[in-house]
Amino acid sequence: MDGFLINMRARKESEEIKMEEGCTGLSGNGITGILNSSCLHRIGVSVVSLAWVLMLICFFFMPPPNPNAGYMPVNINYVFGPSDAVAQTWVHPYVWLAGMMIGLPLILFLPVHLLLSRYAPKPS
């Protein structure tokens, strides 16, 4: 058992070194290393464009809201409205999607970015 713990510790240290060298290491469930915003910035992908792509995939390829969904994922990223049981009926679905794609970056992402870039400590 002691050898197992040493191997796991060595593996963790090697993953941390890879992450520092060039965002090649994967941690957690395998996606956190790839979707790290600094890694995305290095390859020229913005977080907003990634969010747009994910919203479009969820809108066109994932199931819409369903009151009897059980454990099936529905209305991922709220692209059909704020409910998992029924789609919103206030505006046309494409208008809702466009509002999410334009509104989230302007109302959520930009203010958080400005606050963090002003008040968060700079990396050393």
CA separation, residue 22 to residues 26, 38, 39, 43, 99 (Å):
11, 10, 8, 10, 35
Contacts (Cβ under 8 Å, ≥6 apart) of 57: none
What is the domain partition of the chain in residue ranges?
1-45, 46-124
Kindly give the confidence (pLDDT) of every residue in the chain, 124 residues in length, as a single tens digit, with 9 standing for 90 and above: 455 445 445 555 555 544 444 454 444 445 555 556 666 666 666 777 888 888 999 999 999 998 888 888 888 888 999 988 999 999 999 999 999 999 988 998 889 989 998 998 887 7
In this prediction the pTM is: 0.62
